[in-house]
Amino acid sequence: MSLSHALLGLLAVEPASGYALTKSFEESLGRWAWHAGHTSIYPELNRLAERGLVEVTAEGARGSRTYAVTAAGREELRSWLLRPPQQSGKVRNEEVLRMFLLSALDPGDARVVLAHIAENTAAGAAELREVRAAHAGGSFTGPEGFGQLAAEFGLRQYQAVHEWALWAIEQLDADPA
């Protein structure tokens, strides 16, 4: 299960509470890499703690618990990240699915959907350019690096999809069918 590794990874960068981790998923990780809600995060943190891969390092207001990775957790994360890229990860992305199914629509409908995609990706890219500017200059590894990696990845992704959508519209316009 990759949720455990996602959590180990976030905690390896920076200790956090389940609540904070949930926010991270909502804002960055979950948009690109792995979606998860608090109802899967909290039980998983408990399981990781039982396995000795994370530990509670502080308890704060409103019953909040700050978790950090243990040495064993860091080792598990490292070996997972360095493990040879195993065959065919299981991808699931509804947005991309919509794009792939566009050719099932008639050209008029397809054009509408593509225009939406082009618009949304342009907006997303603009947003991330600001995020990137805010993160610029920090060290590459550690919390700052995480933000930079994520922002740059997302930005390039948005740009690629944006250009793909424009290309597709062009094809449609040129297509005699």
Partner DNA sequence: GAGAGCATGTAAACTGTTACATGATTCA
Partner DNA sequence: TGAATCATGTAACAGTTTACATGCTCTC
- Positions touching DNA (CB under 7 A) are 1-3, 17-20, 22, 35-40, 42-46, 60-65, 90
Query: In this structure, are strands 16-17 and 54-59 parallel, antiparallel, or unpaired?
Result: unpaired
Spatial neighbors of 153 by CB under 8 A, at least 6 apart, are: 32
The three-state secondary structure class of 176 is coil
Residue 30, token pair as written in the block: 């979950």
For residues 18 and 162, which CB has a smaller minimum distance to a copy of itself in the complex? Answer: 162
Q: Which does 31 bind (CB under 5 to 8 A by kind): a copy of itself, DNA, none?
A: a copy of itself
Would you count residue 12 as binding a copy of itself (CB under 8 A)? yes
Residue with tokens 């904070």: 20
Would you count residue 15 as binding a copy of itself (CB under 8 A)? no
Amino acid at the residue 33: A
For a copy of itself, what does the binding mask look like between residues 70 and 109, x meaning CB under 8 A?
-------xx--xx--x--xxxxxxxxxxxxxxxxxxxx-x
Phi, psi dihedrals of residue 175, rounded to the nearest 5°: -70, 125
Minimum distance, C-beta of residue 44 to DNA, in the bound complex (Å)? 7
Q: Which does 126 bind (CB under 5 to 8 A by kind): DNA, a copy of itself, none?
A: none
The residues in 117-146 that bind a copy of itself, with binding defined as CB under 8 A, are 120, 139-143, 145-146
Q: What angle do CA 29, 35, 37 make, to 5 degrees?
A: 110
Q: Which does 104 bind (CB under 5 to 8 A by kind): a copy of itself, DNA, none?
A: a copy of itself
**C-beta atoms surrounding 163 within 10 Å:** 12
